[in-house]
Amino acid sequence: MRKQIRMAWGGLLAAALLASAALACTFQLGGSPRAPVGTPTWSLEFIAPENNSLVMLGTTLNLAVSATDHGGGVARIDFSVDGVLIGSQSAPIPEGQTRFSAQQTWQPREPRGYLITAEAFRADGSRIGEAGVVVQAVGALTAQAALYSTPVATQLPRPSTPTPLPTVETVDAPFTLNTPTPSPAVAPPFSPEAPRLRVTFDFLNVRARPDATSELIGRLSRGEEALIIGRNEARTWWVIERDGLRGWVINNPEWIAISGETAPVPLAASLEALPTATPSPAPPGGVAPTSTVAGTADLIILSATIVGGTPKVNQTFNVLITVRNQGTLDAPASLMEGVFQPDGERSQLAVPPIAAGTSVTLPPMPVTLRTRGTNLIGTLTLDIKNEVAEGANGEANNVYTLTYNVE
């Protein structure tokens, strides 16, 4: 029988209980493994989502973990929400492998807190360890108000006795964009420190979905400002609100300037459609900022992040990469390669087909470096086999570099 796992929200447990829990069980919260007694032989960490994330109802989360076991190999990873199994992922090698990364999708249905856990197992069924993160599902208006409330603790203890999670009071209103100006009775009080964007280009298109080809429902002019109230998973699009207009705008520093803290901006459903509006004519003097070159796919790397802090010699780390097709044609599957100093270590990663105007966060790219160094360069190159027809301009932006140290 599976053990029910619950998270207490009433407060933190005493330090003594934390210390004893760390020795009594192999559970880690937020992705930082607790040191087991003796020489560590395993690790299990969440790549996504972040611990204490805010998530809007209806949003599909991509859960991703990475497990390592030197005592027999990882054969299976189970994903659970509040102790209820939602999916299992098996390693490609049935007898287990030293390192295995797994993903699982899940969607919250109620506005409350959830404990998401992952458990790793060997081929003989023995349990390797467990990790967990907490997410808070909220409605749209509650999510806006939560941006300016006191943040919750970044580390929560695991209780010895399961305790039901409390519900969170929320306004029962769907997250519908491009709605009429809300009534003052339900409009949230926005703080002067609320994150905002200001248009620095001649104009900025507001669209129905986070997609450069979706319906145009509005437009902001140079110098106009709007509140940032939501985001997509890759943070490549923002949901903005201004004078009753809600919609998606592309996050491009060449066209917008952002003020305020955007880290707590809640995740909005990336495929949530807005009511279709009559497209307004493009203003004279330029192409709309969200338009792209016609007739080709165009892959770019939006971001590449080393997970887990500074890499260490002979310890495998992950690089989390988000790729976007900013062209107007769908891109077929392709292959990416990373080359990392100081020893020219190579790692390849399959890139799935990507529809025009959409972004994909890839499974973590594992890298192991064997020499220390500072200010080292890693180079990521898209489509190394030239399987995607991108045209001259598209081929010119396939390389992304990141700088790091190795301890």
Where does the pLDDT of residue 27 fall: very low under 50, low under 70, confident under 90, or very high at 90 and above?
A: low
Number of Cβ within 10 Å of residue 215's Cβ equals: 18
The CA distance from 89 to 96, in Å, is 12
Domain ranges for the chain: 15-146, 176-290, 299-406
Q: What is the pLDDT of residue 100?
A: 93
- What is the per-residue pLDDT across 286-330, written as a single tens digit (0 to 9) for each? 444 443 334 788 899 988 888 877 899 999 988 888 888 888 888
User: For residue 97, what is the DSSP state?
Assistant: B
Where does the pLDDT of residue 102 fall: very low under 50, low under 70, confident under 90, or very high at 90 and above?
A: very high
The helix or strand, by DSSP H or E, that contains position 140, with its residue range, turns out to be helix 140-146
**Is pLDDT above 50 for 68?**
yes
User: For residue 186, what is the DSSP state?
Assistant: T
Q: What is the pLDDT of residue 269?
A: 65
Average pLDDT over residues 52-75: 85
Tokens of 105: 């999708």
Q: What is the pLDDT of residue 173?
A: 37
Query: Which phi and psi (to 5°) does residue 17 adopt?
Result: -65, -40
Average pLDDT over residues 124-142: 80
Average pLDDT over residues 146-162: 41
Where does the pLDDT of residue 143 fall: very low under 50, low under 70, confident under 90, or very high at 90 and above?
A: very low
**Is pLDDT above 80 for 107?**
yes
Q: In 264-372, where do the E strands start and end?
A: 299-307, 317-325, 334-340, 345-351, 359-361, 365-367
- What is the per-residue pLDDT across 237-253, written as a single tens digit (0 to 9) for each? 888 988 878 888 998 88
**Is pLDDT above 50 for 13?**
no
Query: What 3-state DSSP class applies to 18?
Result: helix
Where does the pLDDT of residue 21 fall: very low under 50, low under 70, confident under 90, or very high at 90 and above?
A: very low
- For the stretch 154-164, what's the b/e string if a residue is b when 16 or more beta carbons lie within 10 angstroms of its beta carbon? eebbbeeeeee
Cβ atoms 85, 2 nearer than 8 A: yes
Average pLDDT over residues 78-92: 92
Query: What 3-state DSSP class applies to 17?
Result: helix
Average pLDDT over residues 171-199: 51
Domain 176-290 has CATH 2.30.30.40: yes
- Tell me which of 31-35, 37-41, 379-383 is least confident: 31-35
Q: What is the pLDDT of residue 29?
A: 59
Where does the pLDDT of residue 211 fall: very low under 50, low under 70, confident under 90, or very high at 90 and above?
A: confident
CATH code, residues 299-406: 2.60.40.10
The CA distance from 222 to 333, in Å, is 38
Q: What is the pLDDT of residue 37?
A: 46
Q: What is the pLDDT of residue 336?
A: 93
Average pLDDT over residues 36-55: 77
Burial class (CB in 10 A: 0-12, 13-18, 19+), 62: middle
Q: What is the pLDDT of residue 371?
A: 93
- Tell me which of 43-52, 127-136, 285-294 is least confident: 285-294
- Tell me which of 5-19, 63-77, 99-113 is least confident: 5-19
The CA distance from 144 to 90, in Å, is 39
State the chain's mean pLDDT as an integer.
Answer: 74
Q: What is the pLDDT of residue 11?
A: 41
Q: What is the pLDDT of residue 31?
A: 52
The CA distance from 174 to 171, in Å, is 9
Average pLDDT over residues 72-78: 93
The model's pTM is 0.38
Where does the pLDDT of residue 165 fall: very low under 50, low under 70, confident under 90, or very high at 90 and above?
A: very low
Q: What class, spelled out in words, does domain 15-146 have in CATH?
A: mainly beta
Judge if 15-146 and 299-406 fold alike in CATH terms: yes
Q: What is the pLDDT of residue 52?
A: 77
Q: What is the pLDDT of residue 283?
A: 45
**Alpha helices (runs of H) in 204-323, residue ranges in sequence order:** none
Give the closest residue to 87 by CA, choosing from 95, 97, 76: 76
Q: What is the pLDDT of residue 54?
A: 77
Where does the pLDDT of residue 147 fall: very low under 50, low under 70, confident under 90, or very high at 90 and above?
A: very low
Instruction: Identify which has the larger pLDDT, 291 or 125.
Output: 125
CA distances from 405 to 53, 312, 315 (A): 28, 9, 13
